[in-house]
Amino acid sequence: MITGEIRSRVDAIWNAMWTGGLSNPATVMEQLTLLLFLKGLDETQTRAERQARARGTAIERNLFPDGHDGIPIVGENGEKVADGRPFTDLRWARFATLAPADMQEAAENHLIPFLRRLGSDGAPLRKHMASARYEIPTGRLLAKVVDLLTDLPMEKRDTKGDLYEYMLSKVASAGQNGQFRTPRHIIELMVAMTEPRRDDVICDPACGTAGFLVGAAEYLRKNDPGAWTDPEARLHVESAMFHGHDFDGTMLRLGAMNMALHGFEDAAILYRDSLTEEHGDEAEAYSLILANPPFAGSLDTEAVARDLTRIVNTRKTELLFLALFLRLLKRGGRAAVVVPDGVLFGSNKAHKEVRRMLIEDQQLQGVVKLPAGVFRPYAGVSTAILLFQRTDSGGTEGVWFYDLHADGLSLDDKRNLLVPEDKIGPWAELTEAEAALNDLPDALARWREREGAETERPRTARSFVVPKGEIAAAGYDLSLNRYREIEHDAVEHEPPAEILSRLREMEREIFDGLDELEAMLAENSVKEAAE
């Protein structure tokens, strides 16, 4: 968790970008990512040089070679100043000292070609950064942002990762294709429920900024630190465990950088249109899928990958993604994915078939109903988390349902904290009052008892288990309210005779009052006449 002082520095960077003319948060984030990548390259080169000196050998790969790039340097008046810019001008220590106009010329004309040259080695992050665009409008703004980034403490992995996550949290608008950040505490809940292991191969087929992959990595660091001391396990974790796909170049750059700053530069963050491309090369490749894919309606029939329509004949993206998850999972593989509510109770043939498949052919384990405001301000739709395992032989005996009412933040567009920041998420230790504002620890605790004490809970409780046969008889409806029993408070009514007796008494009192009023008025009339 970053401190208030560091938050203030990050806020200052964002404010500088906004006041400098970059109003799109995604563009701001991409430009910051570009500069952070350049800064990271210089740090990597410095470490390599230090190690080479210590060994008395030549550096293995010189990211900033001697010589210049051959791209003419153009002055402010458009005249040619030099035949090329030295590669060393792009080393952060040198770049940060250039005059604003010179710094802007280096960034506008030399930075992207330099990154394209680096990206030719095939490393995912360098490859994605090579397709970036430089969009900071003035040298004055660039120089200010570079100064502010230089002051950020990014020596430690934890700090770098937290800083970047905080920057990503400021991207407060959805992307063109419906991407938006899943709240970190919701990710933590889904990750904790699936319990990533050191031998897992994990995929998010719509990874965006790679929040789920980062969440799984951090869970593993916390719960299995031995995976980093076992050479074989560490090699798998750092180079083969994490896979993310997206078809938005900006998201790929943000996701790859997010993984790199958390210590996973070799994570396979790759371009892929998951619903339109065939999946033969990765069918049954993953043991764990974590995802909150964009649900954008329907695709053209011709565009949908045929191996998905063979699983479920539909054009609806929410159902195609579920088919995709089943296609990618190994037998025995598990998944925690977010779906819109319509998946749970949709009445058309494809909806029913997908639910039947999850229950009869695979093992559907749980449904967590989320409050409608959990993804605000991006979307206010009602959603749920589906937890299932691919078995290809059934295995569903009962489905655990949980009705999550509160996640520790207000459910309006502001999403203000209702509990302290360190008590957001499934691991928090809460007071009784705080527990009423954050259901996540309770949800995790009850999930772990789904085959034990949870099976005895009444249908009036927050969570309960419904037998498979009952769900099948209900047309495989997975809406929680279909199975919930509402407990009505007993109300005692007085016997009718007592009520009638009291009404008659009230009636007599009214008539007596009217008689007294009539007598008083008559007496007053007599007095007035005598006078």
What's the confidence (pLDDT) of residue 1?
58
Q: Is the peptide bond before 377 cis (omega within 30 degrees of 0)?
A: yes
- CA 186 centroid distance within chain: 7
∠ CA 380-204-325, nearest 5°, is 90
Size of the chain, expressed as the number of residues it contains: 531
Write the single-letter amino acid at 86: P
- State the residue for tokens 């990154």: 115
Q: Are strands 202-204 and 242-246 parallel, antiparallel or unpaired?
A: parallel
Which phi and psi (to 5°) does residue 378 adopt?
A: -75, -45
C-alpha–C-alpha distance, residues 39 and 79, integer Å: 29
Per-residue tokens: 400? 């655990």
- The answer to whether 121 and 76 have CB atoms below 8 angstroms apart is no
Q: Identify which of 246, 223, 276, 233 has the alpha carbon closest to the alpha carbon of residue 128.
A: 246
C-alpha–C-alpha distance, residues 317 and 448, integer Å: 31
C-alpha–C-alpha distance, residues 436 and 444, integer Å: 15
Spell out the alpha helix ranges (H) of 96-174.
100-106, 112-119, 124-129, 139-150, 157-169
Q: What is the 3-state secondary structure (H, E, C) of 250-313?
A: HHHHHHHHHHHHCCCCCCEEEECCCCCCCCCCCCCCEEEEEECCCCCCECCHHHCCHHHHCCCC
Write the single-letter amino acid at 323: A
Mean pLDDT of 217-230: 95
Spell out the alpha helix ranges (H) of 423-464.
432-435, 440-447
- The answer to whether 379 and 343 have CB atoms below 8 angstroms apart is no
pLDDT band at 233 (very low <50, low <70, confident <90, very high): very high
Highest mean pLDDT among 21-35, 334-348, 412-426, 501-515: 334-348
Q: Identify which of 134, 45, 144, 48 has the alpha carbon closest to the alpha carbon of residue 88.
A: 45
pLDDT digits (tens, 9 = 90+) for 93-120: 999 999 999 999 999 999 999 988 887 6
Q: Distance of CA 173 to CAs 177, 293, 370, Å?
A: 11, 16, 21
What's the confidence (pLDDT) of residue 295?
80
Write the single-letter amino acid at 368: V
Q: Identify which of 349, 295, 356, 344 has the alpha carbon closest to the alpha carbon of residue 321.
A: 295
C-alpha–C-alpha distance, residues 361 and 352, integer Å: 13
Residue 290: count of CB within 10 angstroms of its CB:
26
For the cut 80, the answer to whether the pLDDT of residue 158 exceeds it is no
Strand, helix or coil for residue 375: helix
pLDDT digits (tens, 9 = 90+) for 244-289: 999 888 889 999 999 988 889 889 999 999 898 888 889 999 999 9
C-alpha–C-alpha distance, residues 398 and 464, integer Å: 10
For the cut 90, the answer to whether the pLDDT of residue 179 exceeds it is no
C-alpha–C-alpha distance, residues 299 and 191, integer Å: 30
Q: pTM of this prediction?
A: 0.85
- The answer to whether 173 and 219 have CB atoms below 8 angstroms apart is no
336 vs 121, more confident: 336
For residue 511, count CB atoms less than 10 angstroms from its CB and return exposed for 0-12, middle for 13-18, buried for 19 or more: exposed
For the cut 80, the answer to whether the pLDDT of residue 45 exceeds it is yes
- The answer to whether 267 and 124 have CB atoms below 8 angstroms apart is yes
What's the confidence (pLDDT) of residue 495?
79
- State the residue for tokens 């806020």: 11
What's the confidence (pLDDT) of residue 127?
84
Per-residue tokens: 79? 């005249």
- State the residue for tokens 């040259």: 117
What's the confidence (pLDDT) of residue 320?
95
